[in-house]
Amino acid sequence: MPHKITLTGSATGPLREYDRYVAFDMREKGSPSAPKGLKKSTFISYTVFVAKKAFNKTGLTKKSIMHEKVLIQGEPTLDIPIDECPGEVGVICFQITVLPNKNDKEKNESDAKKEPKKEDSAPSQEQKKTEPTKQGEEQAPVSQPVAKEDTKAETVQSEVKETPVQEKKAEPQKKQMPSQPKGTQDVLSFDEIIVPEEFLKTRPNPEKTQKVIDFVKRTGRLDEPLTIEKGSKILKDGYRRYVVAKTVKMDQVPVIYEYQK
């Protein structure tokens, strides 16, 4: 079996175009600590080779490849000429994925926090509108002292009618949290899921994987839950969604349980 390799980061050099593929350089740090008595590893430079069709589907350009963070999955190669492969290790890319930007995440979170405040402020304006009517009702008994009991009853009824309206407006705030996909039985921590070896040997279709990634970016949740064996927490179905959850760094994932026979 050829050795698989995974890289994350941005290009360290300009994009180079060839007939049917493009190439760019990346680098990653080595292990932070080495066995006692050995020297620590330094940066390792890689030259990544990607088919033009796969690269164009990501929407990356010559400029954006220098700034966007990408996930590369492939295997090393020694068959590329040195002039085309300036890096220490050549990597044939099977799958390239653009990772979400941290700044975009922070903006979305800040926008989500601002939205409830606007909804909370709306009832206060309605309360201001109701205050003049209450004052008018309280002033009425001055000219008609006999009707005090009737006016008090009316103000109490108006207050009772107003409170359910405020409660109804407060309910939608609970629904602002992203809902789980249909059929979800539980939510598990991503690190608890055990992936069998036969799944790790496969490579999900890049186009379908990218569609799921785009769906998660749009909705904040997976399109379907993962199927997990009850008790052992072994993944039974949904490896593509597992890869997507790992790519976008989801802490928790929705699951359906399959019971042991």
- Secondary structure letter of residue 194 according to DSSP: B
What sign does the CA torsion over 210, 214, 215, 216 have?
positive
Smallest CA-to-CA distance from 70 within 101, 103, 106, 45 is with: 101
Phi-psi region of 109 (alpha: psi -120 to 50; beta: other; left: phi over 0): alpha
The predicted structure's pLDDT at residue 82: 80
Beta carbons within 8 Å of 247's beta carbon, 6+ residues apart? 71, 97, 99, 213
CA distance 198 to 259: 20
Residue with tokens 């409830």: 116
Smallest CA-to-CA distance from 255 within 211, 242, 244 is with: 242
Domain coordinates in residue numbering, the chain: 5-31+41-99, 186-258
Single-letter code of the amino acid located at 223: D
Report how far apart, in Å, the C-alpha atoms of 259 and of each of 37, 75, 81, 118, 228 are. 50, 36, 53, 46, 9
Q: Which fold has domain 186-258?
A: 3.90.1530
Strand spans (E) along the chain = 5-9, 16-17, 21-28, 44-51, 70-77, 89-98, 186-189, 226-229, 235-237, 252-258
CA distance 216 to 187: 16
| Domain 5-31+41-99, CATH among 3.90.700.10, 1.10.10.10, 2.40.50.1040, 3.30.1200.10 | 2.40.50.1040
5 within 8 A of 77, measured Cβ to Cβ: no
Smallest CA-to-CA distance from 22 within 59, 47, 2, 5 is with: 47
- Mean pLDDT, consecutive 10-residue stretches, the chain (261 aa), reads 82 90 88 76 88 92 88 89 86 92 66 58 52 51 48 53 51 52 89 90 90 90 91 91 91 88 63
The predicted structure's pLDDT at residue 114: 65
